[in-house]
Amino acid sequence: MSFDLQKILESKRALRRNLAARPVAEKLRMLDVLRERELAIRGRAVASDSNAVREEPAPYRIKPV
């Protein structure tokens, strides 16, 4: 593992450029995957909370490519 700060910062910039260049539909799919992971990590903790507001996310309206 390298702790070269310049290399780390350039890597972060490259990742951000790569993500910014992706189509919106792909970014939304990535967001859905992250939400699923969050729910999997939370596990039963959320299910046992009776005061939690439960709401389904709105479906994305994506134009056909």
* Residue 62 belongs to some domain of the structure: no
Would residue 22 count as lying in a domain?
yes
Q: How many structural domains compose the chain?
A: 1
**Sign (positive or negative) of CA dihedral 8, 30, 54, 38:** negative
Residues spanned by the domain of 19: 5-46
Average pLDDT over residues 37-57: 72
Helix intervals (H) in the chain = 5-21, 24-42, 44-47
In a domain, 56, yes or no: no
Statement: residue 49 has pLDDT above 60: no
Neighbour tally for 60: CB within 10 Å: 11
Instruction: Name residues whose C-beta falls within 8 Å of residue 27's C-beta, 6 or more positions apart in sequence.
Output: 19
Structure tokens given for 30: 């990535």
Question: Does the pTM exceed 0.75?
Answer: no
What is the percent of the chain where pLDDT is above 70?
Answer: 80
